Amino acid sequence: MAVATATSATSADPKHNLQAARQAYYDKISKHDMTPLWEVLKNLVTKEPSTKCVPALWNYKDAKQLVLEAGDVITAEEAERRVLVLENPGLRGQSRITNSLFAGIQLILPGEVAPAHQHVASAIRFVLDGQGAYTAVEGEKAMMSPGDFILTPNWAPHDHGNTSDKPMLWLDVLDMPTVNHFETSFATHFDDPMQNTARSDGDSLDRFGSGVLPDGSPIMLKRSPVINYTYARTRPILERLKNSGDIDKRHGARVRYVNPMTGG
C-alpha cells in the first residue's frame, strides 16, 4: 500500500513530470546532433575569465637529467625531434603548457642532426645548455650558446645539428595549439637532412640589428628578420642598464626582444 501511494504521488508531481518531459526532448534532439544552449550557456559565457591551466614549476636540474636519459631511449633520427613536452598539470594529454602554447626541452647529442623541415607553427628557442650546436634557418646557420634566443618564423625551413662533443639542450616554444585550434597545421620535409647554408653565423643580426638597415629592406615585414638574438650581445646591455640604475622596481634590468624594422 505504501509503495502504491508513493508511486501515485510521484506521477502527480508537476516538477517531476516537467523534468521527464525535458529529458525526453533532449534525448530526441540528441539523435539529430543538437543540444540545448540553455543547459550549457553558463559554461560557455562565464561571469569572469576561466582557465584550466594551473601554476607549475619545472626544476631544470631534474628536467635536464630526464632529457639526457632520452638520448639512451631513442635516436634523433627516429624521433625526428627528441623533445620532452612540458605539459601543464591541468592540461595533461594535450601537449601544451598553456591553452595557446606548446613548450618542450629538446636534446641534440654530439654528431646528430635533426633533419630539415618547415611547418605552419612559429617557434622560438631559448638555449639552456651546451656550446657549438647550430640551428639553420632559411639558409643561415646560427651557432648556439646558452642564453641565445632564436626565432624560427612560420614556414621557415630549419634544421638542427651538433658538431660539438657535448649534448645541447634548449627550450622550444611554439604556437601549435593555436594553429591546431583553427585546424590549419601542416608540414613538409626535405630530401636532404641539412639545408645549404649560404649565409654565415650572425649574418641576419649584422644586417638588421646594428642600427642600420640594408637599402630596400621590407620595412613592413611582420616578423623579425633576425635569426639569433645572442646572449653575448644582450648581456652587456643588461649590465649597462643595471650600472646606470635604469631598473624596473619589479623586474630589475630587463630588455625586450623586438623586430628591429618595426619595433614590434
Domain ranges in the chain? Answer: 2-44, 60-229
Grid cell locating 247: 631598473
* Host H or E run for residue 182: none
Positive or negative torsion for Cα 91, 146, 164, 210: positive
Q: How many helices (H) and strands (E) does the chain have?
A: 8, 11
Nearest-angstrom CA–CA distance, 15 and 238: 69
Q: Which residue has the cell 607549475?
A: 56
Q: Record the cell numbers describing residue 28, joined without a space.
A: 530526441
What is the per-residue pLDDT across 135-173, written as a single tens digit (0 to 9) for each? 999 989 999 999 999 999 999 999 999 999 999 999 999
Question: Which residues lie below 8 Å from residue 187, measured CB to CB, with a gap of 6+?
Answer: 117, 118, 119, 120
Strands (E), the chain: 83-85, 102-108, 113-119, 123-129, 133-137, 140-143, 149-152, 158-162, 168-174, 187-189, 228-229
Closest CA to 156 of 128, 187, 193, 127: 187
Question: In this predicted model, what pLDDT tens digit does every residue of 28-71 receive, in sequence order?
Answer: 999 999 999 999 999 999 999 999 999 999 999 999 999 999 99
Which residue in 191, 203, 100 sits closest to 143, CA to CA? 203
Please give the backbone phi and psi of residue 133, each rounded to the nearest 5 degrees, phi first.
-80, 170
Give the whole-angstrom CA distance, residue 199 versus residue 138.
Answer: 9
Provide the H-helix boundaries in 109-202. 176-181
Residue that the C-alpha cell 598553456 belongs to: 98
pLDDT of residue 220: 79
For CA atoms 231, 234, 240, 245, the dihedral sign is negative
Share of the chain above pLDDT 90, in %: 71
Percent of the chain with pLDDT over 70: 95
Q: Give the residue carrying C-alpha cell 539529430.
A: 32
Q: Which tops the pLDDT comparison, 2 or 121?
A: 121
User: Which CATH number applies to 60-229: 2.60.120.10, 2.60.40.10, 3.90.1150.10, 3.90.550.10?
Assistant: 2.60.120.10
Integer CA distances (angstroms), 2 to 5, 39, 166, 216, in order: 5, 36, 82, 93
Report residue 149 as a C-alpha cell: 634566443
Contact 228, 124 (CB under 8 A): no
Q: Which residues pair with 145 in a beta bridge?
A: none
* pLDDT tens digits for range 215-257: 888 877 888 999 999 999 999 999 998 888 888 889 899 899 9
At 15, give phi and psi (nearest 5°): -65, -45
**DSSP H/E element including 65:** helix 60-73
